[in-house]
Structure 1
Amino acid sequence: MNAPPAVLPAAAAALTPSAAPLHALALLRYGAPSLAFAFVALPLYVYLPEHYATRYAVPLGYLGAVLLLTRFADALFDPWLGRLADHLLRRGWAKPALLAACALMFAGFAALFALPALLPFAAGEWRFTLLFIAALLLTYLGFSAASIVHQAWGATLGTDETQLARTVAWREGLGLAGVLLAALTPQLGGASALVGVFAFALIVGLVLVWRAPDPAPHRAAATTSLHWRTLLEPLHNQRFVALLAVFVTSGIAAAIPATLVLFFIRDRLDAAALSGAYLFAYFAAAGLLVPIWLRAVRRWGAARCWLLGMGLAVAAFVWAALLQPGDRWGYALVVVLSGAALGPDLVMPPALLAGVIRAGGHGNRLEGSYFGVWNFATKLNLALAAGLALPLLALFGYRPGTLETGVLPPLVVAYCLLPSLLKLVSAGLLWQFFVRGRSGPAAFAS
């Protein structure tokens, strides 16, 4: 079967003719930092709220409010960081920039996990809040800068949709390996082990990436303005706006259960002791299936593969809504199905985005700007998930540590049904704009 309409026809013309597929070792070196980056993504969005609330008695509503504000503030910097990344790539400074960003990220990360032990929340709420916000912003800033540079770099490696998906798959596959390690480390050694293993993984990743292939020559103009209107130049690309709409709705649908998963396992399933095993199985299923999804891309294209992944996710969470306390094996099926759906969520959107960038004539020029806006949307998804879902749960009577019984308690509605509805909306947009014949991306031709 030929590639579907999701493969943007103008992309081929935007590619560098001499570009050749990268071998596995080169892709390993490029993707290596993603293993360490996963330690920031998983603990901050999944482990940190539960860790603060249950171990240090930090109020749930307070956590939601602080995470919402800091994630939103962090997201506002991403378009500027994206344009800055274009300048750094043009000057050939991708690797030093990545190193500097990682240093900031680690400093903030270590401070976050040291803070509640050194300064308990009850001992000084205002001082705790100021230091908590400062550590979060430092971590977010370093992580955002490192991620945008790394993603923009990867978007220049590859010659077609399949090769772009392969580059992304190595990056995200190593990220999944990092997630598995990050999920197990707190179970074995707590927060101190998490910080130590993160430091080691980060050093190894930076050593490897220093020998990775350099980004393709960048053509960003030296005089490009950092005025806010120029930072949003990618939004003038209608193909990108369509893809962003799909990504945002899908991302919110994924961020809500990611924020609530530990609460659901403990307070709905009564299976807190299995939290680490469930998380490990989820990410292991995702990682093991990535090679299969890559083969599927060659046959059906990235858009159709992403659509199939959305269908699997909806099936998994509808099944989860039917589970009762003690249904541990039933939730294991949810874990496998939703893990299978994670691969397309990770690999297909950046591969489609790289094609959109090239089709718009912005290849090797504005990758950083596109990923700056893209990461802004990602942060907004996570902010809404943590900042709205947690306080609303508290408002409707959910209390952490209390077993949720009955047919559809608030935790089940928030964790299972709301994400399913959002995934269906996202799937409809994906079908309309990137799968259906010439009413898809061809409708956005320049």
Structure 2
Amino acid sequence: MSIRPASLIAYGALGLPLAMVALPIYVLAPAYYTSRLGMPLSTAGLVLLLTRLVDTVQDPWLGRWADALAGSRRLRPALWATSLCLIAAFAALWMPPVSGWALTAWFAAALVLVYAAHSFMNVAYLAWGASLGLNCDALTRAAAWREGAGVIGVLIASAGPAWLMERDDLAPRNAMVPFIALFATLLIGAIWLLRFAPPWQRMPPARTRRSGHRGLRPFIVSVSRTVLGNPPFRMLLLPYFLNGLSVAIPASLAVFFIEDRLGVPRWVTPSLAIYFSAAAMGLPIWVGISRRIGPQRAWRAAIWVAIAAFVWAATLGRGDVVPFLVICVACGFALGADLAIPPVILAQCLPDGEGAGACFGIWTLIGKLCLAISALTLPGLAWLGYVPGLPATGIPGMALAFTYAGLPCLLKLGALSTLQMPSRLVSEELQ
């Protein structure tokens, strides 16, 4: 199926506002509630763990719902309604009107609402992209436009919130108002542009009716058939989980590492901007490499690049800004492959498009599980004596450095060791 570039732009635009939400939630919110609003680190870690677990278990259900809505032409209205919910919940997260224990309850409730709305939109969006073409080139082009727009959104999110919170003329609870307004405008505009995107390639009526069955038992049977019964997809889950955990842990600790280990809080915004700018530049390069040597080989090469660059971050200390920026460039370049290639490999495991929503629901479930597990690093570091806002030296500092950089590199090595077999299975399945 030939897809016009204008249609790909209309499809890819939604990746920008969705990415604008993801980075502040997963990277900036923990530091905001602990360092700015005074929530204890262990409490914030527990809230993040529990809310991310809730977010994790809901994704397969949301995937099945997206399949059913796409088959009955109700997906676009559902996306409109969900976008309004996401805007309201995102605003509530950054403007809490309470303090003390009520702040903890507000933090948890706002996160649950943001996660639910964002997860449904993201699952439906990924599944939509998987239905746009049945060949690797079309899938890669759609993923490149989506993730390219996402990188732009991440760049805005990496610079905007941190810059706003550093301004002395804005109270911490009101600092995010301009960013929230920009996000709401871009999200509504992107939802409107979807009318010009290629349509979801719906399944035949008989299959659509089966996807719409309700109840726990039909859901389990359907997921077992479309997901667990797909060997290439099943064998990709472990390396995807290990690699996702290796990304989630430093994402949760990046602000703490820069502010307290390196001792350069004003370099948070430039570091994140450099990191994601390198990802934006690396994205088209990795797409080209993927076309030449195949998605699996390209992904393995990118993981090796990330390990070789990031392992040195564990040795950095106070004032090591320049080496850290070099690491940001190299790791950001490798991130471009993580953004574009894994969804293409997954889409290749669904040659007939059946159960795309359910499979992407499981796929995003794995990513959310990684984020939930990464929240355990916060109470762990608190137990070792690390306190946000104080210099991270001695044992607490070494623990922060190893958890931030050393542990993720070990996890990436585990991903590489388990990626060999899934790659061969995918190749054999598609021949």
TM-score, normalised relative to structure 1 = 0.89
Matched, 1:215 2:239: no
**Change in 2 beyond 3 A, CA 1:134/1:406:** closer
Instruction: Specify the code of the residue in structure 1 equivalent to 2:109.
Output: A
1:60, 1:133 → 2: CA distance?
14
| Residue number in structure 1 paired with 2:319 | 326
Structure 2 counterpart of 1:70, from 24, 48, 51: 51
Matched, 1:106 2:81: no
1:80, 1:246 → 2: CA distance?
23
Q: CA deviation at 1:193?
A: 2.1
Matched, 1:200 2:185: yes
Following TM superposition, the consecutive aligned residue runs of length 4 or more in structure 1 with deviations greater than 6 angstroms are: 443-446
- Taking the TM superposition and a 5 Å limit, the aligned residue runs for 1:387-426 are 388-405=376-393, 409-426=398-415
| Residue number in structure 2 paired with 1:354 | 347
What CA deviation, in whole Å up to 9, does each residue of 1:147-192 have, x standing for no partner? 1111110001123222211111110110110010111111333322
Structure 2 counterpart of 1:129, from 104, 108, 112: 104
Specify the SS of the correspondent of 2:392: coil
- Taking the TM superposition and a 5 Å limit, the aligned residue runs for 1:15-164 are 19-20=1-2, 22-115=3-96, 118-120=97-99, 122=100, 125=101, 127-164=102-139
Q: CA deviation at 1:141?
A: 0.9
| Residue number in structure 2 paired with 1:3 | none
1:187, 1:418 → 2: CA distance?
26
Specify the SS of the correspondent of 1:383: helix
Q: CA deviation at 1:406?
A: 5.2
Instruction: Specify the code of the residue in structure 2 equivalent to 1:393.
Output: L
2:322, 2:107 → 1: CA distance?
38
Matched, 1:273 2:266: yes
1:210, 1:59 → 2: CA distance?
45
| Residue number in structure 2 paired with 1:230 | 221
Matched, 1:366 2:345: no
Structure 1 counterpart of 2:418, from 422, 425, 429: 429
| Residue number in structure 1 paired with 2:283 | 290
Conserved? CA contact 2:60–2:365, under 8 Å? yes
Conserved? CA contact 1:253–1:419, under 8 Å? yes
What CA deviation, in whole Å up to 9, does each residue of 1:323-360 have, x standing for no partner? 221111100111001101111111111000000011xx
1:404, 1:62 → 2: CA distance?
20
| Residue number in structure 2 paired with 1:4 | none
Q: Provide structure 1 residue ranges, at least 5 long, that are not aligned to the other structure.
A: 1-18
Conserved? CA contact 1:86–1:365, under 8 Å? no
Matched, 1:342 2:335: yes
| Residue number in structure 2 paired with 1:12 | none
Specify the SS of the correspondent of 1:254: helix
Of 179-188 and 63-72, the range deviating more from structure 2 = 179-188
What CA deviation, in whole Å up to 9, does each residue of 1:102-160 have, x standing for no partner? 12211111111111xx112x2xx1x3333322221111111011011111100011232
Instruction: Specify the code of the residue in structure 2 equivalent to 1:209.
Output: L
Q: CA deviation at 1:365?
A: 2.7
2:349, 2:354 → 1: CA distance?
13
Specify the SS of the correspondent of 2:364: helix
**Change in 2 beyond 3 A, CA 1:441/1:214:** closer
1:157, 1:198 → 2: CA distance?
26
Conserved? CA contact 1:75–1:379, under 8 Å? yes
| Residue number in structure 2 paired with 1:243 | 236
1:276, 1:129 → 2: CA distance?
26
Specify the SS of the correspondent of 2:292: helix
Q: CA deviation at 1:260?
A: 0.4
What CA deviation, in whole Å up to 9, does each residue of 1:253-276 have, x standing for no partner? 100000000111111111110110
Conserved? CA contact 1:186–1:193, under 8 Å? no
| Residue number in structure 2 paired with 1:176 | 151
Q: CA deviation at 1:416?
A: 0.7
Instruction: Specify the code of the residue in structure 1 equivalent to 2:125.
Output: H
Q: CA deviation at 1:99?
A: 1.5
TM-score, normalised relative to structure 2 = 0.92
Instruction: Specify the code of the residue in structure 2 equivalent to 1:391.
Output: P
Q: CA deviation at 1:364?
A: 3.1
Q: CA deviation at 1:78?
A: 1.0
Give percent identity, aligned residues only.
Answer: 38
**Change in 2 beyond 3 A, CA 1:443/1:31:** closer
Instruction: Specify the code of the residue in structure 2 equivalent to 1:397.
Output: G
2:35, 2:255 → 1: CA distance?
11
Specify the SS of the correspondent of 1:222: helix
Conserved? CA contact 1:83–1:231, under 8 Å? no
Conserved? CA contact 1:164–1:351, under 8 Å? yes
Conserved? CA contact 2:154–2:276, under 8 Å? yes
Q: Provide structure 2 residue ranges, at least 5 long, that are not aligned to the other structure.
A: 165-174
Q: CA deviation at 1:240?
A: 1.0
1:445, 1:273 → 2: CA distance?
49
